[in-house]
Amino acid sequence: MKPCNSKDLRYEIKFVATELEHDRLLQWINIHPACFLNHYQDRQVNNIYFDSHNYSSYSANIFGLSSRAKVRYRWYGLSIHPTHGALEIKHKRNSYSWKNIYKVDKINLTPNLIWPEFKKKLNQRLAPASKMWLEFNPLVVLINRYKRKYFICASDEIRVTLDSDIQVYSQEKNSSPNYSHKENIPRTCVLEFKFPRKLRKEAADIMSNIPIRVSRHSKYINGLLSINR
């Protein structure tokens, strides 16, 4: 696991509710005394998740290993044929998280592009330090897509995202991107707080009256469980 500068470490606290609670959570954000502001425009988030042939990333999460990582290719926008994105390595160590992001340009995920060819093109555009992640995680497991709203506290260091309309598409038995068969998953929304270690108390105060319970949650794990039900 790549070492991380301590300033990049952050807490990530998630709350999961049914999509019926989406507007209630949005109202809670909008009227909170912390004065949350819109951080970015709403965006569609798209991820391709990779894993090893023995699903080591999945297993590490299920068994709660203190040090683990997930590998995904992410892009933003409504298009299912991205021309640029980024390979992201999402690290978790005990209670802390951080990401390594490797931007990728001039790559087109078209319907007739088979996965081995996509991985080859992706590998050609990656920096040497990031190539090993694809080497050890060659299996294309799933694509997920969701809508995300972004907020930031007036202090400028406590961020909140609200995800909804989560969709999952299995890729395990497909030679090219599958968007035609969507998995049947529970309709949920995910509220997530992200903040540095130094603001743990302030964040706890902000979250103290949230109307739902904190929950351990991974979109990758939930997506894979829905595929294998």
Backbone angles phi, psi at 29, to 5 degrees: -65, -45
Domain of 24, CATH number, reads 3.20.100.30
Identity at 11, one-letter amino acid code: Y
The pLDDT, as a whole number, for residue 27 is: 97
Tokens encoding 1: 């696991």
The pLDDT, as a whole number, for residue 7 is: 56
Domain span at residue 103 reads: 8-227
Record the pTM.
0.94
Tokens encoding 115: 């996965």
As separate numbers, helices (DSSP H) first and strands (DSSP E) second, the chain gives 6, 9
Cα distance between residue 211 and residue 227, in whole Å: 30
Domain membership flag for residue 2: no
* pLDDT interval class at 1 (50, 70, 90): very low
Domain count, the chain: 1
pLDDT digits (tens, 9 = 90+) for 161-204: 999 999 999 999 999 999 999 999 999 999 999 999 999 999 99
Domain membership flag for residue 1: no
The pLDDT, as a whole number, for residue 73 is: 98
Between 112 and 71, the more confident residue is 71
Identity at 136, one-letter amino acid code: F
Cα distance between residue 7 and residue 92, in whole Å: 15
Domain membership flag for residue 189: yes
pLDDT digits (tens, 9 = 90+) for 27-57: 999 999 999 999 999 999 999 999 999 999 9
Cα torsion for 11, 17, 22, 28, to the nearest 10°?
Answer: -60
Segment 95-111 mean pLDDT: 91
Domain membership flag for residue 78: yes
Asked if the model's pLDDT at residue 4 lies above 60, the reply is no
The pLDDT, as a whole number, for residue 95 is: 85
Contact 26, 60 (CB under 8 A): no
Concatenated DSSP letters for 190-204? EEEEEEEGGGHHHHH
Domain membership flag for residue 3: no
Domain membership flag for residue 23: yes
Contact 160, 189 (CB under 8 A): no
Contact 4, 97 (CB under 8 A): no
